[in-house]
Amino acid sequence: MRVAGSILIAGGLVFFLLNMVAEGTYPNYDVGTYYLSDLGAIGANTYLLWNGMLFTSGVLLLVAGYLLFFTENQFRATAVGGRTTIVGVLYLLPGIGAIIVSLFPGNSSLGAAGMHSIGAFTTFVFGGVSAVYAVRLTKAPFRYFSVVLGVITLVSIPVFVYSGVSVAGLTERLIVYPFVLWAMCFGAYLSGVHLGERASV
């Protein structure tokens, strides 16, 4: 669990630090109105940096999810029980979505045809659900923070869809940042759980 937890922390750090660098080097970037994925658009000066960052973060999410739900037998037995495969896939989907977004920029032909949106909403929806579901995998008080962060992500999705482009950057960040913060905190939580302990109560 400690390895999976450390990988989750690393994935969150990669996202926050390199996304910040990309925002700072993209000309006249406005976090309130610009989408996060504008940083990865074909032709942008941050194209390689941002898409490489997102691909790396997605892979780290995938690896952490695989290690936690498909190799940690004691964690699966105590925290997940008989729903291992279903729960495991749930925690793999945000990473898969992030990888899809990185491979299909919004202004590419396949990205504009829907692949970019599919990847983004896979990460948005299942990222939020993963955080909420972690209430069954963790102990108090972290389980309560986990639910709050997951709910913020999920509630922010319809706000993002219907609020319009004038605040698109802000509302998208209310989806993404709580999930990334949760992933890092979940990683820190897992890093402190010994294999001999129950992960949940």
Q: How far apart, in whole angstroms, are the C-alpha atoms of residue 124 and residue 154?
A: 7
Structure pTM? 0.91
Tokens of 96: 């898969």
Q: What is the pLDDT, as a whole number, of residue 200? A: 46
In a domain, 199, yes or no: no
In a domain, 66, yes or no: yes
In a domain, 198, yes or no: no
In a domain, 170, yes or no: yes
In a domain, 201, yes or no: no
Q: What is the pLDDT, as a whole number, of residue 167? A: 93
Residues spanned by the domain of 22: 2-191
As for how many domains the chain has, the answer is 1
In a domain, 197, yes or no: no
Q: What is the pLDDT, as a whole number, of residue 194? A: 52
Q: How far apart, in whole angstroms, are the C-alpha atoms of residue 15 and residue 28?
A: 21
For residue 196, what are the contacts with CB-CB under 8 A and spacing of at least 6? 74
Q: What is the pLDDT, as a whole number, of residue 198? A: 45
Per-residue pLDDT of the chain (201 residues; tens, 9 = 90+): 789 999 999 999 999 999 999 999 999 999 999 999 999 999 999 999 999 999 999 999 999 999 988 887 666 666 666 667 788 899 999 999 999 999 999 999 999 999 999 999 999 999 999 999 999 888 889 999 999 999 999 999 999 999 888 899 999 999 999 999 999 999 999 988 654 454 444
State the DSSP code for 201.
Answer: -
Q: What is the pLDDT, as a whole number, of residue 193? A: 66
* Contacts of range 46-50, beta carbons closer than 8 Å, 24 or more positions apart: 46/22, 47/105, 49/18, 49/21, 49/22, 49/25, 50/18, 50/19, 50/22
Single-letter amino acid, residue 201: V
Closest CA to 198 of 87, 77, 67, 64: 77
